[in-house]
Amino acid sequence: MESSLVKCSKCQAFLFPEPFNTGQFSPCPSCGAPLAVEVFPAILQTPSAAAAEPLLVEGQSSCFYHPAKKASIVCQGCGRFLCGLCDLELNGRHVCPACLEAGQKKSKYKDLENTRVLWDHIALAAAVFPLLCFWGTIIGAPYALYLILRYRKAPCSITGRSSVAFVAAGVLAVLELAGWVAGLIYWIVKT
C-alpha cells in the first residue's frame, strides 16, 4: 500500500504539495527533474476492508464459506449466501470468489480480461508474409484459411476494432490459392 506522499518518478524523493495541480513544471527538490503533478481526492482516501458480522442468533442465515459469519448478500452467479468478506462487487453485480474465478476462466467478465490473442492479425500475416517468398504461399494461404475458419468467432481486440483483417486475410488467401490452381491447370494443359 502506497502512502499519500507523492514521489518523484526519477529519484523517488517525496514531493511537497505546493506546486501540485498548477499545470506548471517545478523542479524536484532532490534531483531537480521538472515535474508536473496532478493529484485527485482519492489520494486522501484510506481503503477500508469489508467487515463480516458474526452470527448473533442461532439459525440466522450464515455465509456459505464462513459458517460463523452472518450472510449479508446473495451471490448473483450461484445463489449462495455470502458475508461481507466473500462479497465481490463487479460492475454492480455481487458474486462469490468461486463464481468470479469461473467467470474469469470462461472470459465471462469482460472487465477481468487482461490478455487477448489477435487471431485476425495472425491470419493476415500468414497470408501476406509468404508473398515475399513465392513458394511460401503454398503453406501460408491454407494456414490463413484454417485460422479464419478456426477463430472466426474468437473476439478481436477489446477496444472494438472491426474484423477487417480477417476479411482481408481471407480474400488474399483465396486469391493465392486460386493463383496456384490456375498455374497448375495451365501447366497440366501445356504438358
What letter represents residue 180's amino acid? W
Set of cell numbers at residue 173: 488467401
Q: One symbol per residue from 40 to 79: x for binding other proteins (CB under 8 A), - otherwise; what is it? A: xxxxxx-x----------------------------x---
Q: How far is 117 from 126, CA to CA, in rounded Å? A: 15
Stretch of residues binding other proteins (CB under 8 A), selected from 32-40, 59-67, 100-108, 132-140: 32-40
Q: How far is 169 from 167, CA to CA, in rounded Å? A: 5
- Residue from 55, 85, 98, 125 in contact with other proteins (CB under 8 A): 125
Instruction: Report whether 84 contacts 50 (CB < 8 A).
Output: yes
Set of cell numbers at residue 38: 496532478
Min dist. Cβ of residue 119 to other proteins (A): 8
Residue 118 makes contact with other proteins by CB under 8 A: yes
- Residue from 29, 53, 79, 116 in contact with other proteins (CB under 8 A): 116
Backbone angles phi, psi at 138, to 5 degrees: -60, -40
Q: How far is 128 from 132, CA to CA, in rounded Å? A: 8
The residues binding other proteins (CB under 8 A) are 1-10, 14, 16-18, 20-21, 25, 33-45, 47, 76, 91-93, 111, 113-119, 121-122, 125, 157-160
